[in-house]
Amino acid sequence: MIALSQVAFGLIWLTTAGLLIVKSPHSAAALYRLQAMAEALVAAAAALAGARPWLWLSVVLILVIKVAVIPPVVMRGLGTRRTDYGGDGAFGIGALLLIAALLSVGGFLLGRLGLPHPALMGMGFAALFVALVHASSRYQVWSMLWALLSLDTVVGAITLIWGRGLPEMADVAIDLVSLGLALVLAYLAQRIDRIMHARDIREMEDLVG
């Protein structure tokens, strides 16, 4: 099952990097779905390897909440921003890829500092660092929204491997929190679109000021 987990974490890392540089909301939604399916694979592998059958409930919840429910809810909340296109930010796409690559190497090395499952944790930390870069470097409303949801998925996958001592309902609660986060973000995106007509988070500061 370790091989399955490695494939899943590799996919999570790749989709997190894809979300960092993608230029349209529809492409981001597709990558998020793929990322969520990879998290479901991590949960399935953990259920098989650790004799934790209750994790199958997490697999079902991830597929229902993150794959089936969250993307259409978020896209509906984006309103006219669903057709937005662009890659404006503090750095160009090439620079973002370089930063992501350097931080990914740091994540891989960090996973080898005495942690259990060093390869898995290394890829998990690499994805985590890339998601944090995304959340702080892309300023489109839709991109920041998917960055936060991506960060939530990466943390959820890491918790499945690292949090073996957590009670059974903890992972279920994490999935429900993901749904709540998506609903709040979709509502905020809708309000930004209808009231402020802002495409960029930085425009909101100008509007408020």
pLDDT band at 164 (very low <50, low <70, confident <90, very high): low
Domain limits of the chain? 2-203
**Report field, pTM of the whole predicted structure over 0.85:** yes
For 138-155, how does the pLDDT look when each residue is reduced to its tens digit (9 = 90+)? 888 888 899 999 999 999
Query: How large is the average pLDDT for residues 168-182?
Result: 81
Per the CB < 8 A criterion, the answer to whether 123 and 107 are in contact is yes
**What pLDDT, on the 0 to 100 scale, is given for residue 209?**
45
The pLDDT value given to residue 192: 74
Structure tokens at 11: 């996919």
At 207, the pLDDT band (50, 70, 90 cuts) reads very low
What's the mean pLDDT in 95-101?
86
What was the pLDDT predicted at 159? 87
